[in-house]
Chain A
Amino acid sequence: MKLQFSEQEEGFRQEVRAFVRERLPEDVRRKVERGLRLERHDYVAWYAKLYERGWITPSWPVEHGGPGWTPVERYIFDEETLLGNAPRIIASGINMLGPVLIAFGSEEQKRRHLPPIRRSEVWWAQGFSEPGAGSDLASMRTSAVREGDDFVVNGHKIWTSYAHFCDWLFCLVRTGSGKPQESISFLLIDLKTPGITVRPIRGIDGGDDLNEVYLDNVRVPAENLIGEVNKGWTYAKYLLGHERTGIAGVGASKQQLARLKRIAATVRDGGRPLIESPGWRERIAALEVELLALEYMGLRMLSGAQIAAAPGVDASLLKIRGTELRQAIYELLLEAAGPAAVPFVEEALFLERADEAPVEPELAALAANFLDSRKLSIYGGANEIQRNLAARALLGL
């Protein structure tokens, strides 16, 4: 056991930190720092810098353009980019589809799809959930029927994040009538294909990240099938289990804790900054201790993974505690805002119009961010489902 990062790792940290400081566009940084709305071009502006540096696809193997980092280096990268208020890598093409293509795609599919993902030219949406199939994803019904060289797809996908600014959809479709998990296929669908309607779903915070996608007799060339017919569930499980390092959200928690301290140092109560009151200090400290414990639990698991490299259910533990901690930080941020959380001028959530907020700019998005944080325990496998998994796999219940 050793508590410190190695000299090399510390050097890497400095390198990432300097990179973020020098290359992250200032307007994008400010948007992230204040929790304001980000649009596709904001992400692209940052991703382009990462691409130039060869850092855009940390989890991909070197031969496909990955940087060849150790899990610890990827961890440091996540943390430093978030602490520097860079946008997260939300692109499902990078986080989800890329690894699946690399593991199960044909050479032609890799050649065609991987480079535009790395260059952020093509954005992918994840079409898994359906109105009737959320936690019970295997019950999804969107069907794909083979007709000549095409699949004809009919169905309804929902909660499709960012579909309104995506170009393609990777989609689970039903291709047989056998056991639910054994009759699902994994299909790539160009969102410009006739028969597709994308409808935005307004979020609780007024945001427009969510969409639903209607597929009405959509003809998809059979060459867009990943791997084998009826093996889609295996690929989907690989995809969902793949992104382990970031699952605890330690970097995101640190970013928001830093924001909390900044805000607590400026917002005053009874003439004194919140941070000077013992009650506030104790509550912030409690979150920080919890975060340390989460971080070290994660690092402990990570150093095990560096030896065994087997994805395990221990990720569920990180997901549960990590999301709950982030939600607790957002709750405290909301409390720090006090009455400033009450006004809600939606336009002011865009940096260009931030001056329309009737409160200090740093506080304008806190209520929206708090509401949005409720999603953390719902998506990526709801926390209840993670607990069920952990009970079964870790405790043998």
Chain B
Amino acid sequence: MDFSLSDEQLQLRDAVQRFCEHEYPAASRGVPDAPARMDERWRLMADMGLLGLPFSAGHGGSELSAVDVMIVMEGLGRALACEPYCSTVVLAGGLVAAAGTPAQADALLPAVVRGERRLAIALDEPGARYDPLPLAAKAMRDGDGYRLDGRKTLVFDGDAADTLIVAARTSGAPGDRDGVTLFLVDATARGVDLHAYPTLDGRRAADFRFTDVRVPADRVLGEAGGGLALVEAALDRGIAALCAEAVGALDALLELTVDYVKVRKQFGVALASFQALQHRLVDMLIACEQARAMAGVAAMAVDGGDAAERARLVSAAKVQVGNAARLVTREAIQMHGAMGMTDECKVGHYAKRLLVIGQSFGDVRHHLRRFGQEALA
């Protein structure tokens, strides 16, 4: 058991922190950036090596662990960074690295690492509510390739992606574990319709409709019909990363609130002098520390080999982080008074990001259920 960071990891943490302080000045956090500005930052992240963190040296990466990804995500969360790091590097990039053929990995990963290509996963379908099993999009054999039909919803950063990883059934029926296949689909391919929209946290997501999209056989990612296990592992990596991002955001909220109660005066004294608030600030601190511990547990679990153990611990982390986010955002807003209800105040922006993380890739109830299934199995 060891929760300490190595010297290299401490350096990574400091580098990310410096990058974020420079790139996301406190005053403009939460304000949507112009696309050109985001592109520029993406290049800087590539230059720092952040986009290649988990990938092999052969693809230009640095072969680091999920704990290192956690360090990056925590920094990005604290700065409310809005780049598609989780979508491109962790979720989709991770899938390509885990399941791609050498040719597929060669074609995609070096470009991802250089910041030249963005990816997203198109998994959820309308009405699915966090469970990938009922998945109904279909891919039929057609000559030496496939024809893809179906709808996907809430694809994070979908409109920024050059390549999508689409999950569709090549056999079986909705609800079957077998028969799900992953496809690498060009976002500009014929028959791909995109409807993008803003999300509560000021970022973007998209719905996709695939109509008779032709996908060559060499764009099948992983074993045909065996996609579900890959998806589950990828989602767990993504969730672990989002938990780390949430921890960064929680820290920032606690810090903002502690700073605020020290300077805001009512009745001639700082709000900080009221014990009614002090005790609740300590409860916020406890929630942050438990979340931090669990985000670390989740990161280590996704690098471990055991799928059931991984699922159990990642779900536990998502539950803990979700509950912490509820408590900390509620209290942060409350202690800021009316100021906390405004768009000018950074508290609301962190609150909304945490809310989106909480409602994505399984909410507290979903993960409680999953934890229960794994723990009681």
Would you give the 0/1 interface string for B122-135, flagging 1 where the beta carbon is closer than 8 Å to chain A? 00100101110010
Tell which of B33-41, B105-113, B329-337 binds the partner: B329-337
Q: Is B348 close to A, CB under 8 A?
A: yes
A384/B276 in contact, CB under 8 A: yes
Give the A interface residue count (CB, 8 A): 49
Question: A134 near B: Cβ within 8 Å?
Answer: yes
Check if B365 sits within 8 Å of A279, measured CB to CB: yes
Distance between Cα atoms of A206 and B276 in the complex (Å): 30
B residues within 8 A CB of A374? 330, 333-334, 340-341
Chain B residues in 8 Å Cβ range of A134: 266, 337-338
Residues of B within 8 A of A388 (CB): 276
B200:A129 contact, CB within 8 angstroms: no
Q: In the complex the two chains form, is B198's CB within 8 Å of A345's CB?
A: yes
Nearest B residue to A384 via CB reads B276
Cβ of A269 within 8 Å of any chain B Cβ, yes or no, is: yes
CB neighbours (8 Å) of B18 from chain A are none
> Is A300 positioned at the interface, with any CB of B under 8 Å from its CB?
no
Most chain A beta carbons < 10 A, residue from B127, B198, B205, B265: B127
Q: A201-B342, A384-B277 are in contact. Are A343 and B198 (CB under 8 A)?
A: yes
Please determine whether B124 and A344 come into contact, CB atoms closer than 8 angstroms. no
Q: Are B337 and A344 in contact (CB under 8 A)?
A: no
Pairwise interchain contact A384-B341, C-beta atoms closer than 8 A: no
A103 contacts partner chain B, Cβ-Cβ < 8 Å: no
Chain B positions within 8 Å of A210 at CB level: 338, 341-342
Is B343 part of the contact surface with A, judged by Cβ < 8 Å? yes
Contact present for A338 and B130 (CB under 8 Å): yes
The count of A-to-B residue pairs whose CB atoms sit within 8 angstroms is 124
Interface residues on B, range: 35 or more
Of B207, B333, B338, B363, which contacts A379 at CB under 8 A? B338
Interchain CA distance A378-B266 in the complex, whole Å: 14
Chain A residues whose C-beta falls within 8 Å of the C-beta of B266 in the assembled complex:
133-136, 139
Chain A 328-358 against B: per-residue CB contact (8 Å), 1 yes, 0 no? 0001001101110111111000000000001
Tell me if A269 and B338 are in contact (CB < 8 A): no
Q: Are A367 and B334 in contact (CB under 8 A)?
A: no
Report yes or no: A338 in contact with B338, Cβ–Cβ below 8 A.
no
**Bound CA span A279–B369, Å:** 11
Residues of A near B207 (CB, < 8 A) are 358
Q: Are A204 and B348 in contact (CB under 8 A)?
A: yes
**Contact of A335 with B363 at beta-carbon distance under 8 Å, contacts A129-B338, A204-B348, A358-B195 already known:** yes
Mask, B349-377, CB within 8 Å of A = 1, is 00110011001100111000000000000
Residue B154 interfacial (CB < 8 Å): yes
If the complex has contacts A271-B134, A335-B365, A387-B276, are A343 and B154 also in contact, measured as CB distance less than 8 A? yes
Please indicate the chain B residues that have their CB under 8 angstroms from the CB of A384 in the complex: 274, 276-277
Structural contact, A136 and B334, CB atoms closer than 8 A: no
Contact with B along A257-269 (1 / 0, CB 8 A): 0000000000111
A55 adjacent to chain B (CB < 8 Å): no
Asked if B344 is at the interface of the complex by the 8 Å CB criterion, the answer is yes
Answer yes or no: B3 CB below 8 A from chain A CBs.
Answer: no
What are the residues of chain A within 8 A of B345 when measuring CB–CB? 204
Q: List 27 A-B contacts (CB under 8 A).
A: A136-B266, A136-B267, A139-B266, A203-B343, A204-B333, A204-B345, A204-B352, A269-B129, A271-B134, A335-B365, A338-B130, A339-B360, A341-B200, A341-B355, A342-B205, A342-B360, A343-B200, A344-B198, A358-B153, A370-B355, A371-B352, A374-B330, A374-B340, A378-B333, A379-B338, A384-B276, A387-B276
Give chain B's interface residues, CB within 8 Å of chain A: 124, 127, 129-131, 134, 153-154, 195, 197-200, 205, 207, 265-268, 274, 276-277, 326, 330, 333-334, 337-338, 340-345, 348, 351-352, 355-356, 359-360, 363-365
State the A residues within 8 Å of B (CB). Answer: 129, 132-136, 139, 158-159, 201-204, 206, 210, 267-271, 279, 327, 331, 334-335, 337-339, 341-346, 358, 367, 370-372, 374-375, 377-379, 382-384, 387-388
Q: Known pairs A338-B359, A343-B205, A387-B276; list 18 more (Cβ under 8 Å).
A: A135-B337, A136-B268, A202-B344, A203-B342, A204-B342, A204-B343, A334-B355, A335-B365, A337-B359, A341-B355, A344-B197, A345-B198, A358-B153, A371-B355, A378-B334, A378-B337, A383-B334, A384-B274
